[in-house]
Structures are given as C-alpha cells and as structure tokens.
Structure 1
C-alpha cells in the first residue's frame, strides 16, 4: 500500500491532531520521499502526524518558488545529509511581475546553493531520474499544451519572462497504474500527465497535489475535467487547484475527485510500489 501524506498546504483538512498549521504552499510525503517543503509548517506538521521525515533519505523540489522551498533548511536540519533532487535552474533569481511591470519582489528559493549543499547531496537533473525503486522525478517537462507561468527571471540581458523550466513532478509505479504527485504543475497538467506516461510506459490512474488550475478559465477546466474523467480512478486536488476548479471537478467527476489539505493521507489500497 502506498501512503501519501500532505504536510503543508493552503488549508488544514482535519481538526485532529490538534495544532496542525496551514500556509500558502505545499509539501507531501510520498512513502519515504519528500516532495517540496512548504514555507515553514512541514516539520511541525510532520511531527504531529507521526511522519518521520528525519529518517527520509530523499527530497525532491518541484520548482524553486518560495512557497515550495522556504522550509527547505528546516527540513534539512532534521535530516542526515539527504539527496536533494532538483533541476539546475532551481537556483535562478526569480521575481514577481505585476501587470507586466517588473517590481523585484522575490519569488524563488530564499537560499543559496552553497548553503543547501552544506546540508545535502544535490543531484541536479534535466532528465527523468529514479529516486528509489519505482519512484521517479520527471525532470524538465515538454510543453505542447497549455502551461502556467508567472513572474520574471534574471538573465544576462536583464529580466525576462520566466518559463519555470525547472517545474517537475513525481510519478510512482504501482500495480494498478501510475500515481502522479504534483507540486504546482506550472508545466501544465496535460503536459505533465503525458510526460509521466512516456517516461514510465504506463497510464496515469491517480493524480494528487497542486494542479495549477487556479490559473485556468472555466472552459479549460471543463475540457480538462472531461479528459481526466476518461483516464483516472482518483484525483485529489490541493494547493493551487483553486476553488473554481475544485467546484467544477467535484460536479463533473464526483466519483473521482476529492479535495485535500494538511493531514490528508491518501492510501492507494492494494497497490504495491513496483521495483
């Protein structure tokens, strides 16, 4: 059985255990692999939930945005030199872009590479990589369908539109199909699903995490929900899925969709991680 527990999210899903904290961001334990670290609540919530991240050996960063990486040092401080999987562009200097105006508000990871390297073994990758048996970080995702970008990034020629090329997700091979766990899915949901299926030569049957449908219009959400309805056994929306999309998905896919938050544990009953 594969257990996926949300440690940081925009909302708390349950009043118990007492003291769970919500924040804008995301962190999730996929078995004993950690995807993202939220802003500040992941370690606190993990302790309350009995998730021993201090014993984990692997951390994956879905991308560099602060709401997925600000808690990184808190996590690394309780771990013993874990492997940190990330795209090489995760260290880029990213900034907010309001109404087309570059205003300099930082969006990216708030730590330097040397600081992080002192507490972990950094594994930079553009291509897919297997972290543990049957668990893959997807690397850079080809984009043939809609993606969702934000902000600007510093380059030698100045600040340019940020394509967030470092965006990646994690896919787990199970006996009943692929389980795709998303951080923020800036690369786009269709693109990410298709890439996961290409990398692992199987069908995505489960999706958990931030779909970034918060940035999609209603027509696109309807089209995506119809497409997903023909593919999925379970869709668990969190973080940047957005209230509009959650409402549409719940209405159109009532037997497939559910929302989640801090404290939610998704159990894929009867599924074994394949080696």
Structure 2
C-alpha cells in the first residue's frame, strides 16, 4: 500500500507544492485508488496531485471523514475532473457547521453547490462497509473516552441556533495490511482513543498496526485553542500501548501536540507533510 499526502498544513522548505490547513491522502492498494478527504478550500490537494503526476481521473472512491471545509474543500474541483468515483460520507456531514473564533463565528461546512450539482455522486454510510477488498469505512464511533478539549469551539447550526457539534458526521477508514489494521482519521474529533477502540470492536481478532491522521489537539489554522499538556501526554501513553506500528500524524495535531507526544512515543511517531510518500 502506498500513501501520498496530497496536502497538509506543512511542506518541506524547498517544495513547490501548496500547503494549507487541511488534509488529503491518495491511497493505492492492489490497483484500487482512494482519495481520503480533499483538503482545504484553496484546492491545494487537486493542484498538488497534478504537480505530483497523480491522475485523479483514475480515483475509484472518495471518502470524506467529516463535514468541515478543510477536508472537503477540493471536492467541487474533483467532480470536474473525475466523473465516476462515488463519494462516501455520513448524511450528517451535510449539516451547517461553524467555528467560534476570537473575531466571531465562521461557517466551515460543505459548499452547498456540492449537493446542488452532484447529489447523485454522494453515498451515505450508516454502518461499516467494505468498499473494496480489505478496505472498510466505519461510520459509528463509540465514545467511551473523552473527546478532544479543542472541540468546544465547534458548533452546528440547527433552526438558526448554534449547538455544540456532536460529530455524528465523522467516520474513519480501516485498511487491512500485512502489519495489521491501518487506521485513517481525518481530524479525530471523536477522539483518537475512541476511534482506535471502535476499530478493535469492529475487528476484535486483529491488531492495530499503523495509525495515520489528525488527532485534533488544536483548533484552527492559527491555533486559537489547544489541548492541555496532560491530555496530550495521556493520549501518547495510550497510543504507545495500543498501536503496534508507526503513528503518522499532522494537520490538527499541530506542532505543539506533536512535540509533547514525541518524547513518549519516540521513533514510533512521525510527522506528515505535503508531498510525503509512505509505503506500508
């Protein structure tokens, strides 16, 4: 399995790729091609794919981890390129989502044009489904552990009132590989511990191998809310025991979160960046 980070918050110093607040992964396994999230509204994922020589017309499926624009920002452009790939998401991802920032509230939901023009391309998932051999979407996350502290600035607008986002619109992906289960998260708003615990319940006889994605230890591109140091350390200690393989993280984990986890996880923890290639 080969994973290319099409976009992420960071990039290498001399890279000509575009980095923005968001994440998008291009995943290839046994000839099947998945786009996991589509990056932010600058459409950097789409542009970077072109620069990296990745033909998005050949993508077989798109998976949207949740309904925020830093994960769905390239979707409209993708539809103009690819006319066949189904887009898997939860129906709740089409809700009206906002963040409360120091300068006021901001809409961060999916572009309404996606539903207006491409509704027939959307496939709503409400139970675990195998979309290709050993590739699974898991939409129901059991929340036995606390969710990230930085979620408290995120809301859904219902009947013109902002209510706290419960993240029923979030899902994750599992790909079974030679080293066990690889767990892909977008932001991990439901809590990375809850996501991995759910993966263990869905596949009780399989080990968790690699973990890849964001853990939501900060909110927003300018980091206006961050998780407490103790919360981050506790997550790192738990991951050390629960994940047998490498842990690749970035995006909403943030530099601070990564640096707090690194002494605990040591070489087990790796930082992703725009253009990075990972072979598992």
Cα distance in 1, alignment partners of residues 182 and 113 from structure 2: 32
Match of 2:215 in 1: 211
Match of 2:197 in 1: 194
Match of 2:268 in 1: 256
- Structure 1 residues 80, 157: CA separation in 2 closer, same or farther (over 3 Å shift)? closer
Q: Show CA shifts across 1:1-50 (max 9, x none).
A: x111110110113635xx20000111111211111111210111112222
Match of 1:121 in 2: 121
Q: Show CA shifts across 1:115-155 (max 9, x none).
A: 3525x521101222212111111113121112133422122
Q: Which runs of 5+ in 1 are unaligned?
A: 269-275
Instruction: Say if 1:73 and 1:116, in contact at 8 Å, map to a contact too.
Output: no
Match of 1:228 in 2: 239
Q: How big is the shift at 1:206?
A: 0.6
Match of 1:42, SS?
helix
1:179-190 → structure 2 map (5 Å cutoff): 179-190=182-193
Match of 2:6, SS?
strand
Question: RMSD in angstroms over aligned alpha carbons?
Answer: 1.9
Match of 1:88 in 2: 91
Greater helix share, structure number:
2
1:72-111 → structure 2 map (5 Å cutoff): 72-98=75-101, 103-111=104-112
Match of 2:63 in 1: 60
Which is worse superposed, 208-217 or 23-32?
208-217
- Structure 1 residues 173, 216: CA separation in 2 closer, same or farther (over 3 Å shift)? same
Instruction: Say if 2:94 and 2:110, in contact at 8 Å, map to a contact too.
Output: yes
Instruction: Say if 2:45 and 2:74, in contact at 8 Å, map to a contact too.
Output: yes
Alignment equivalent of 1:161, drawn from 161, 164, 187: 164
Q: Which runs of 5+ in 2 are unaligned?
A: 219-225
Q: How big is the shift at 1:112?
A: 4.0
Instruction: Say if 1:95 and 1:106, in contact at 8 Å, map to a contact too.
Output: yes
1:44-55 → structure 2 map (5 Å cutoff): 44-55=47-58
Match of 1:6, SS?
strand
Q: How big is the shift at 1:113?
A: 5.0
Which is worse superposed, 201-210 or 64-73?
201-210
Cα distance in 1, alignment partners of residues 117 and 194 from structure 2: 30
Which is worse superposed, 55-64 or 156-165?
156-165
Cα distance in 1, alignment partners of residues 175 and 7 from structure 2: 20
Poorly superposed stretches of 4+, deviation over 4 Å = none
Match of 1:35 in 2: 36
Match of 1:271 in 2: none
Cα distance in 1, alignment partners of residues 114 and 46 from structure 2: 21
Match of 1:21 in 2: 18
Q: How big is the shift at 1:157?
A: 7.1
Which is worse superposed, 107-116 or 201-210?
107-116
